[in-house]
Structure 1
Amino acid sequence: MESLPQARMGTQASGTWVLYVLTDAPLLESPGHDFGRSAPMPTPEERAQVLASLGYGAADGAEWEWHETRHAPAAAHLWAGIPVRPTPPAVIGGSAA
């Protein structure tokens, strides 16, 4: 069975939403995007646009799965993940863009 990369979205220590793709590269070198806001949560359409700009798309039939991690009794961290596939570069006028 093929192992697909996973995109994850959550909030950073600053509170802003960030989306990144887990690759074989070190985490700090993984492709990512900071939405620059803490509210509202990025919509599914915004997430799809960001994934596309990073060269990825959701795997066939995949949906975002939400998780909650508790670091302390009063502190919960919400994050989501989705399997992704690299997307081929767009072809414009017969050549790759």
Structure 2
Amino acid sequence: MVTLPAQLASDGGPWRLYVVLYGESQWPTVRWERSGPVPTGAERRAALASLGYEVAPGAAWSWTEDSRDPDDDSTPVLLIAAVTVRGRQGGAA
């Protein structure tokens, strides 16, 4: 079965969860119009299901942080979580 990366990201504003589709200009996306709290595991699972995906067996969310300007530590932090997903039975991919 084909697996793809999904990411959850926020730069202090709304949270966005999207599935990375290589070679495509638009990716399936869900947006939470809140800056906090971080969407729960159940919320992320439901969002992925609404897009036709599920977390791949054995995959776990991993977190990292980035910055718009890595050389300036006073710029807002961008939090990114990533997980491997697969199409749900009868769903996407």
Q: TM-score, normalised by structure 1?
A: 0.79
Alignment partner, residue 7 of structure 2: 8
Alignment partner, residue 82 of structure 1: 83
Taking the aligned partners of 1:54 and 1:3, their CA distance within structure 2 comes to 15
Taking the aligned partners of 1:69 and 1:4, their CA distance within structure 2 comes to 24
Task: Compare CA radii of gyration and give the structure with the larger one.
Answer: 1
4+ aligned runs moved over 2 Å, structure 1: none
Report % sequence identity: 35
Aligned AA (1:87) = R
Q: Among residues 15, 21, 24, which one is paired with 1:23 in the alignment? A: 21
Aligned AA (1:73) = D
Q: Is the 8 A contact 2:6 2:84 kept in 1?
A: yes
Over the aligned positions, Cα root-mean-square deviation in angstroms equals 1.9
Q: Among residues 28, 33, 43, which one is paired with 2:30 in the alignment? A: 33
Aligned AA (2:73) = P
Taking the aligned partners of 1:34 and 1:87, their CA distance within structure 2 comes to 20
Offset at 1:18?
0.6
Query: What is the count of residue pairs matched by the alignment?
Result: 86
SS at structure 2 position matched to 1:73:
coil
Taking the aligned partners of 1:3 and 1:31, their CA distance within structure 2 comes to 16
Unaligned runs of 5+ in 2: none
Q: Structure 1 residues 3 and 89, CA, compared in 2 at 3 Å: closer, same or farther? A: closer
Alignment partner, residue 43 of structure 2: 46
Q: TM-score, normalised by structure 2?
A: 0.83
